[in-house]
Amino acid sequence: MFGLFKKFKDGLAKTVSAIAAKTRGLFGGRKIDAASLEELEEALYTADFGVETTNEILAEIKQAYGKDKELQGRQAAHLGAAVLKRVLAGSEGVLEGVTGPVRPVAGAAAPAAKNPVVIAMIGVNGSGKTTTSAKLAWKLKQDGKTVTLAACDTFRAAAVEQLKSWATRLELDIVASHTGADSASVAFDAWQAAKSRGKDYLIVDTAGRLHTKSNLMEELAKIRRVLQKNDPAAPQHRWLVVDGSLGSNSIEQARVFHQSFGLTGLVVTKLDGTSRGGALVGIYRQLKLPIYFLGLGEQPEDLQPFSADNYAKAVFGLD
Ligand SMILES: Nc1nc2c(ncn2[C@@H]2O[C@H](COP(=O)(O)OP(=O)(O)OP(=O)(O)O)[C@@H](O)[C@H]2O)c(=O)[nH]1
Ligand SMILES: [Mg+2]
């Protein structure tokens, strides 16, 4: 648990230091006063927590300060973290086998005809889909699961190579075709391969697309329809991979993807590279989609299951 929390703390360091820089060590031991409340408000805006969440955090701390003029910064930090956890209630996506229950007992008869659970990664260009697909496949493998990757970004030259090179590096199973191939038929073939190889998961990496381009959004729908020929339930997971450094600008984009594709969850990437790590709270508030993973760096182990508790504590410098 400690290791996991450290990942959150390190990964959110830029957001945390943006807050610390504005609050002059408030959470390190100062007493609360009118000036520090203003500093905190500004810091929360800067970190992109948004009006609603910022107001709720401040209201809670002001109320406590109204009752106790000796209120310490550290107590305020606990109050702030509690508000975040309350706002984020229900936000933790749990992918079975990664953060929770698991593999049948060795020797027990496995269901012969099980279908792979399909996770489709979708999102705008450069949000982190390919990297997340590879990292997640690696994580599942570490967890004792079997996985096939489907290289369905046949659009951009080098996209297939990018996923293949991750697969080689991390020794992952992959189904790929050539640039320009029909992405839906790659998805179909990959599903068949995953099924015949008895894999637990199929992770489908798709091409980046702008939510405003209807022909490209239609291509996603086609991937889904074709997968459904194999299994009407597929793809069980339809995750929007959101670039966390874009802050709250991602909300509108997420809404459009959700409308046209029926998202089931989110992955927020690149949080290690931004001081706007508060944005995921606004994204969750607006969409109420569970957040499955956070991208907290470029290494495979930097993809971490989302924990509201660790996130809230990291933001307020608690441990
Ligand atoms: N620091 C950091 N970089 C990341 C993270 N996730 C992805 N990246 C980087 O972001 C860049 C884009 O990632 P990709 O996985 O290629 O993004 P994509 O969504 O597949 O891009 P397209 O296929 O072009 O739409 C790469 O340089 C990644 O290494 C993260 O969590 N932290
Ligand atoms: Mg990609």
C-alpha 185 – ligand 1 centre gap (Å): 25
Long-range Cβ pairs for the range 288-291 (8 Å, 24+): 288/90, 289/240, 289/254, 289/258, 289/263, 289/264, 289/265, 290/90, 290/91, 290/92, 290/93, 290/94, 290/264, 290/265, 290/266, 291/91, 291/92, 291/93, 291/265, 291/266, 291/267
Binned at pLDDT 50, 70 and 90, residue 105 comes out as low
Domain coordinates of the chain in residue numbers? 2-87, 117-315
Atom of ligand 1 lying closest to residue 159 CA: 23
Q: What is the pLDDT of residues 176-215, one digit of tens each?
A: 999 999 999 999 999 999 999 999 999 999 999 888 888 8
pLDDT score at 100 = 46
Q: Of 111, 113, 133, which is closest to residue 122 (Cα–Cα)? A: 133
117-315 matches 2-87 in CATH topology = no
Is it the case that residue 85 has pLDDT exceeding 50? yes
For residue range 13-70, list pLDDT tens digits in order: 888 888 877 887 788 778 999 999 999 999 999 999 999 999 999 999 999 999 999 9
Q: Give the span between the Cα atoms of 286 and 267, in whole angstroms.
A: 15
For ligand 1, what atom is nearest to the CA of residue 135?
Answer: 6
| Domain 2-87 in CATH 1.20.120.140 | yes
Q: Please name the fold of domain 117-315.
A: Rossmann fold (3.40.50)
Please identify every residue whose CB atom is under 5 Å from ligand 2, which is an ion.
129-130, 153
* pTM, two decimal places: 0.93
Distance 293 CA to ligand 1 centre (A): 14
What dihedral do alpha carbons 271, 117, 192, 294 form, nearest 10°? 0
Any atom of ligand 1 within 6 Å of the Cβ of 247: no
- CB-ligand 1 contact for 148 (6 Å cutoff): no
Ligand 1: atom nearest CA of 303 is: 31
Residues 217-273 pLDDT 10s: 899 999 999 999 999 999 999 999 999 988 777 888 888 899 888 999 999 999 999
